Chain A
Amino acid sequence: DAKTTQPTSMDCAEGRAANLPCNHSTISGNEYVYWYRQIHSQGPQYIIHGLKNNETNEMASLIITEDRKSSTLILPHATLRDTAVYYCIVSLNQAGTALIFGKGTTLSVSS
């Protein structure tokens, strides 16, 4: 079973920041937080991941609370192409460990 809880859906205006929350209160000390997104009828796309520290890349920023029980994915300037289902997943950072997907958050970006 997925170990994360996310809102079912969120709306965002184009050009504004999209802040997607995720609760993972039972995360273990050696588990990472991964974010993927899935655009309709495509395979999931990696966005970002982190363990304790906040992370930023060209796609997004990941803010992890100090107790690691929750995190927020930030898309700084959402575009229409960011409309997708966003999945927050906690998992060990091992090649042989599968990612277990929850229901995710459907983000709708509108103009």
Chain B
Amino acid sequence: GAVVSQHPSWVICKSGTSVKIECRSLDFQATTMFWYRQFPKQSLMLMATSNEGSKATYEQGVEKDKFLINHASLTLSTLTVTSAHPEDSSFYICSASGQGAGRPKAFFGQGTRLTVV
């Protein structure tokens, strides 16, 4: 079946640095990708929606200048957490949907555990 690969699985960075997370659709073209954030013991919260070749749409309360999203191709979207701070520590998850997936649903990456120290 369709697979979405997310990299890295975990990352530790120093406060003030930037971190890039990649999300790849391996066997289908993802016209749309979604980025979620999940804090401990909470549900997934949608951060933004990105369509290939256009600017991402951010949910209310999500800073677009802090969470930079690039969806330059139909198989790759990236989320860059700029000037990370400890409060940005979270589990970041991407999902992808699009044509050719075979079934009408979204596929999720395995998630990235970000720890800012």
Contact = CB atoms under 8 A, between A and B. Distances in A.
Given A41-B91, A100-B46, A103-B43, A95 B98 contact: yes
B104 to A, nearest CB: 5
A96 B51 contact: yes
Contacts of A49: 104-105
Contacts, number: 58
Contact of A43 (B97, B104, B110): B110
Nearest to B10: A41
Interface string B34-48: 101000000111100
Contact of B44 (A32, A41, A44): A44
Could you tell me the dominant secondary structure of chain B's interface residues? strand
Nearest to A48: B105
Given A49-B105, A104-B43, A98 B93 contact: no
Contacts of B106: 46, 98-99
Contact of B31 (A41, A44, A95, A99): A95
Contacts of A43: 4, 6, 93, 95, 108-111
Nearest to B111: A43
Nearest to B59: A98
B46 A93 contact: no
B: interface residue count bin: 20 to 34
Interface residues of A, number: 22
A32 to B, nearest CB: 8
Nearest to B48: A98
Contacts of A38: 44
Nearest to B47: A98
A111 interface: no
A44 B51 CA distance: 21
Given A42-B111, A43-B109, A101 B44 contact: yes
A96 B46 CA distance: 13
